[in-house]
Copies of this chain bind each other. A is one copy, B any other.
Amino acid sequence: MKYSHKLSDAIHILAFVEIFQGGDVSSTMIASSIESNPSLVRRLMSQLAKADLLITRPGVSAASLARPAATISLLDVYRAIDDSQQLLHVDPKTSMACPVGRNIQSTLDDVYDRVQQAAEAEMAKVSLAEIIQDLQAKINA
């Protein structure tokens, strides 16, 4: 688990639930598709439900999207599951005794924020519907 796959797995879950709607969408079934374990899937599903992207019901495996896939963007999913909300990270420990160390953090905050905005703007352009459509096309091929 070198890098975080939370975002990928969350999208995987949402796509799985939508594509196999009416079939078995239990955490165990989804876990086998992700090749992970049910507990991890339930944790992510819980976060997605809290972000109002997924509707779940205690005790019964009947998850479904909370809104049409076309109205769910990659950014919505990113915001639902990502903890740090940051793609780049400023070193929080620099010397206040040095002119550069004292000011570099706020300078980089500004710069990184611009990069973050650009990335998030692109994420906002991608809908879950597009991803599902792409998957369906590959499945049918």
Spell out A's residues near B (CB within 8 Å): 3-5, 7-9, 11-12, 15-16, 19-20, 32-35, 74, 84, 86-91, 93-95, 98-101, 103-104, 106-108, 110-111, 114-115, 117-119, 121-123, 125-126, 131, 134-135, 138-139
Which residues of chain B have C-beta atoms less than 8 A from A118's C-beta? 118-119, 121-122
Contact between A104 and B11, CB atoms less than 8 A apart: yes
Contact between A8 and B126, CB atoms less than 8 A apart: no
Contact between A134 and B107, CB atoms less than 8 A apart: yes
Which residues of chain B have C-beta atoms less than 8 A from A99's C-beta? 19, 135, 139
Contact between B104 and A135, CB atoms less than 8 A apart: yes
Which residues of chain B have C-beta atoms less than 8 A from A34's C-beta? 91, 94-95, 101
Q: What is the chain B residue whose CB lies nearest that of A141? A: B103
Which residues of chain B have C-beta atoms less than 8 A from A7's C-beta? 88
